[in-house]
Amino acid sequence: MSGLYSKARGEEQGCQGQRGGFLRWKDPVSRSRTQVSDAGYKFGHAHNRLGEIRRVATYVRNQRPGLRTIIWDDMLRSIPEEILRVSGVGLLVEPMVWVYVEDVDRFIDPLTWAQFASVFDHMWVASAFKGAFGERLYGANVARHLGNSLGWLEVMMRESRGSNEVKFRGIALTGEKVILYE
């Protein structure tokens, strides 16, 4: 699958691979810049990022029509709703909203749900069954992970019935494996 991603980009970049009919990639556009305070940069950065997402997602759709392209939502959180809507990215990808703490609402506010619901037909959420709470932990904190999953279920029920009527496809259980080389 990395060849598929490279062809869409026209260069060699890392693809995360395909699993269960989904393609996931890291955000290759995020780079540090010196002109962060420049409003023109912010629009240009959003435009570049959305263009990259559109190119890859369109290529994936053309090559594999039944494949859904899912992207991490933090690639989109800072982009204004109108820019997301006009870009057409909502027709090509589905965001995976991720928060790994028990109080999901502390990181994803109602405005984010409203913005995403107006742009994307469907969304996913990501919980964790291990990892996510510190690279030096040797065992999973089952209570925290269970609390996170239950928190997500509450949010999903509330947001799917609320004024936003968010349509969730499901919840993904993620599990980081961190290897420390010291």
Structural domain spans, the chain: 1-71, 99-182
Top pLDDT among 139 and 127 is at 127
Instruction: Name the pLDDT band for 41 (thresholds 50, 70, 90).
Output: very low
pLDDT at 18 over 70: no
DSSP notation for 80-142: -HHHHHHHTGGGTEEEEEE--SS-GGGTS-HHHHHHHHHH-S-EEEEEEEE-SS-TT-SS--H
Is residue 166 pLDDT above 70, yes or no?
Answer: yes
Does residue 164 or residue 8 have the better pLDDT? 164
Please state, for a pLDDT cut of 70, what percent of the chain lies above it: 65
- Going by pLDDT thresholds of 50, 70 and 90, the confidence category of residue 165 is confident
Q: Over the stretch 93-121, which tens digit does the pLDDT of each residue have?
A: 999 999 888 888 998 988 899 999 999 99
Higher pLDDT, 150 or 40: 150
Contact indicator for 79, 44 with CB cutoff of 8 Å: no
CA 32 – CA 41 distance, rounded (Å): 12
Model confidence pLDDT, tens digit, residues 130-146: 655 556 666 666 788 78
The confidence score (pLDDT) of residue 130 equals 63
Q: Is the pLDDT of residue 159 over 60?
A: yes
CA-based nearest residue to 48, from 79, 85, 6, 17: 79
Higher pLDDT, 126 or 174: 126
More confident residue, 178 or 70: 70
Which pLDDT band holds residue 43 (cuts at 50, 70, 90)? Answer: low
DSSP state, residue 73: G
Average pLDDT for 149-172: 91
